[in-house]
Amino acid sequence: MVVTDGFKKRLFRRPRIALIATVLPLAATAAVAAEGQVKPFPSYCIDSSIQSQNQDSRVRTLVFHYTAEDLPSSLVHLTEAKYQTSAHYLIPQQPAAGHVYSLVPERERAWHAGVSQWQGVNNLNFSSVGIEIVNLGFPPEDENVPLMERHWYPYDEQQIAVMGRLARSIIDRYQIKPHRVIGHSDISFGRKTDPGPLFPWEYLYSRYGIGAWPDADAVAYFKRTQPYDNNVADLQGKLNRYGYGVPLSGALDKATEEAVAAFQMHFRATRYDGVPDVETVAILDALLQKYFTRELPETPPTSLSVMQSNCP
Please identify, using beta-carbon distances, which residue of 133 and 239 lies nearer to Zn ion. 133
Q: Mind giving me the DSSP string for 23-73?
A: HHHHHHHHHHHHHT-PPPPP----B-SS--S----S--EEEEEE-SS-HHH
- The rounded distance, in Å, linking the Cα atoms of 17 and 211 is 62
Please identify, using beta-carbon distances, which residue of 150 and 184 lies nearer to Zn ion. 184
The least distance separating Zn ion from the CB of residue 192, rounded to whole angstroms, comes to: 5
Please give the C-alpha separations between residue 262 and each of 31, 188, 208, 265, in angstroms, as whole numbers.
71, 9, 23, 5
Please identify, using beta-carbon distances, which residue of 65 and 266 lies nearer to Zn ion. 65
Residues that bind Zn ion (CB under 5 A): 65, 184, 194
- The rounded distance, in Å, linking the Cα atoms of 71 and 91 is 9
Residues labelled catalytic: 132
Please identify, using beta-carbon distances, which residue of 65 and 150 lies nearer to Zn ion. 65
On whether the CB atoms of residues 162 and 86 are closer than 8 A, the answer is no
The least distance separating Zn ion from the CB of residue 52, rounded to whole angstroms, comes to: 35
Please identify, using beta-carbon distances, which residue of 57 and 85 lies nearer to Zn ion. 85
The least distance separating Zn ion from the CB of residue 123, rounded to whole angstroms, comes to: 14
On whether the CB atoms of residues 113 and 187 are closer than 8 A, the answer is yes
The least distance separating Zn ion from the CB of residue 157, rounded to whole angstroms, comes to: 22
Query: Diameter of the chain by CA atoms?
Result: 89
| Half-sphere exposure in the Cβ direction for 34 (13 Å, CA) | 6
Please give the C-alpha separations between residue 125 and each of 63, 115, 128, 130, in angstroms, as whole numbers.
9, 9, 6, 8
The least distance separating Zn ion from the CB of residue 122, rounded to whole angstroms, comes to: 16
